[in-house]
Structure 1
C-alpha cells in the first residue's frame, strides 16, 4: 500500500528499476502552478499525486485554458496538496494496457479505451462508456465495455513487473503503461488495491478474486505454520 499513496514515490521507484516513466513536475499548492506550467510542452495533463480512477486528471492544450482552470471554480484541490504536471503521451490505438499480478504470478493483461476520458477504473460499477464524461454509471446507460482482455500479450515487461513486485514485496498489483506513437513503453501507474472487470475475466477465462483468495489462503497457511513452529514469535 505504500506505493499506492504517492505517484511521486511510484515514479521514483519505477525509474530506479529502469522503467520509462512520464516526464513529471510536482507542484505543492495552487499558487505556483501557472509558473511551473510554462516549462511544460503542450499538450500536458494534470493529476493528483494521491488519487485513483483517473479522478482529477485533465488535459490542457493551451496555457490560457490551464490558467483559467487554476483560477476558476472547477479547480480540484489534491488531498495531499500536490498537483502533478505531466507530459501527455499519445497512445497507439487509443488504449492503455494494464498488467494484473497476483501472488507473484502474471494473471492477464487488459486494455482500457482512453478515448472517452481518463477515468479508467476497471471495476464493474465504473465500466461505462460515459465514465470519461464525468457521468455516474447509475445515471447513464452502458453502451459497451471500455475494457477488454489483451489476448496473447507476453511482452518482456511482464517479467520486469514481476521482479519489481518481488523487490517491493507487493503480492497484488496492477501496472498500467502506454505504448506511444514514438515507440516508447511508458509505465505511469501502479495499483496495489486493484479491481477486476467481469467482461475482461469472461474473455480471459481467469478470475482475479479467485486468484486473490487462493493467494491470501496460502499466506494464512504460511502464518499458521510459522506460529506452530515458532509459538513465541
Structure 2
C-alpha cells in the first residue's frame, strides 16, 4: 500500500505482523499516544517525497517470509534509508535491521564487544553444509541465518545423521540460502535466558524453559513447534511456567549488551543466551522486534509493551520540544 502522507506528528510503527502489534496498540491507547502503523508487506515509495515528521519504530521481522511477506525486510530497508536520509528519528534503524535478518552479522558485531557466541560455520549448498559439520567436535545444531521462530533448528550427533537430513524432503533451506552449523552447547538445565532492553536500558530478564522445543517466541500468539532443542534433549513438560521473569537479574553481560546495542542502532531488543555446564555464557540471538509474555509479566508486575509505548512517547515529546525551541528562535 502507499505510504501515508504527511500529517500530525506521531509515532509510526513499521511491521508486517498484526498479531504481534496488538499489545502495543493497547499500550498506546492506555497512554493516549498518537500513532499509526506502516504495514510493509509491500508498498509504493516515492523517493522524491519527504516522510512525515515523528518517531519511527521499526519492528520488521526476520521471519516475515513465513507469513508470505517474502520481501518485507528488503522493502523496509529501503524505507529506513529514505527516513534516515531525511533525518527522521528511527528506533531500531537500518543497522538494527541488518542484524535482525542475519545471524552472521549479529555474531560478528557481538564479538566486537567481547561477547562470546557459539562456534559457528556458515555454509551455502549441500556439500558445504556437510563439510562444515565435519569440522564440529561432537554434537552440533543447524539453523537458518535469516530465521526467527526456531527456523531450521535441528540437533545432530553425527555427520551421517545430518547427511540423511539434508538429502531428505524434510530439509528446508534458509530463505537467504545460508545454513549455520553451530556447536551444541550443553546446559545443566533445559532453559535459556532472554534479556530485554527498551530505550537502550535493561528492563528485565526472563528464564525460558526449552524442554518443549526451540520456538521460543514469547508472544501470546506464538505456538510451540516441534523443532529440536539445541540446549538439551526433549524432556517431560515441566510444571513451572515456560516463561518466568527473573527479579533483580544482575550479570556483567548486561553492560556488554548495553554497549553493543548503543553502537548498532538498536533501541529496543531481546537478546538470548545459554549458560553451559562450566557457567560460561554463549549469546546466540538478537531480536530487534521483541515480544513479551503476558502471563510472566502479570506475575512479575512488569510490562514490556507499556514500557515501549512510554519510551516512544518520550521520544516524540523530545521532537516536539525541539520544534518549539526552533520556532521560538526563528
The TM-score normalised by the length of structure 1 is: 0.89
Q: Is the 8 Å Cα contact of residues 37 and 63 (structure 1) preserved in structure 2?
A: yes
Trace 1:133-172 onto structure 2 (pairs within 5 A).
133=226, 145-172=241-268
Deviation at 1:229, TM superposition (A): 4.0
Structure 1 residues 172-198: Cα deviation after superposition (integer angstroms, max 9, x where no partner) = 010101111022111111100001001
Structure 1 residues 207-229: Cα deviation after superposition (integer angstroms, max 9, x where no partner) = 00100001111111222333344
Local SS of the residue matching 1:225: helix
1:45 aligns with 2:141: yes
Structure 1 residues 24-60: Cα deviation after superposition (integer angstroms, max 9, x where no partner) = 0000233321122111122100000001021211100
Aligned equivalent of 2:181: 85
Measure, in 1, the Cα distance between the counterparts of 2:282 and 2:212. 20
Aligned equivalent of 1:137: none
Which ranges in structure 2 are unaligned for 5 or more consecutive residues? 1-96, 228-238
User: Runs of at least 4 residues of structure 1 off by over 6 A?
Assistant: none
Q: Among residues 210, 215, 225, which one is paired with 1:114 in the alignment?
A: 210
Structure 1 residues 93-131: Cα deviation after superposition (integer angstroms, max 9, x where no partner) = 21000000001221110011122211111111225xxx1
Rg larger in 1 or in 2? 2
Q: Among residues 190, 197, 204, which one is paired with 1:94 in the alignment?
A: 190
The TM-score normalised by the length of structure 2 is: 0.63
Which ranges in structure 1 are unaligned for 5 or more consecutive residues? 135-142
- Number of aligned positions between the proteins: 220
Q: Is the 8 Å Cα contact of residues 139 and 155 (structure 2) preserved in structure 1?
A: yes
Q: Among residues 275, 284, 298, which one is paired with 1:202 in the alignment?
A: 298
Q: Could you say which structure has the greater relative contact order, defined with CA pairs below 8 angstroms and 6 or more residues apart?
A: 1
Measure, in 2, the Cα distance between the counterparts of 1:93 and 1:151. 19
Deviation at 1:148, TM superposition (A): 1.1
Aligned equivalent of 2:321: 225
Measure, in 1, the Cα distance between the counterparts of 2:251 and 2:106. 21
Aligned equivalent of 2:156: 60
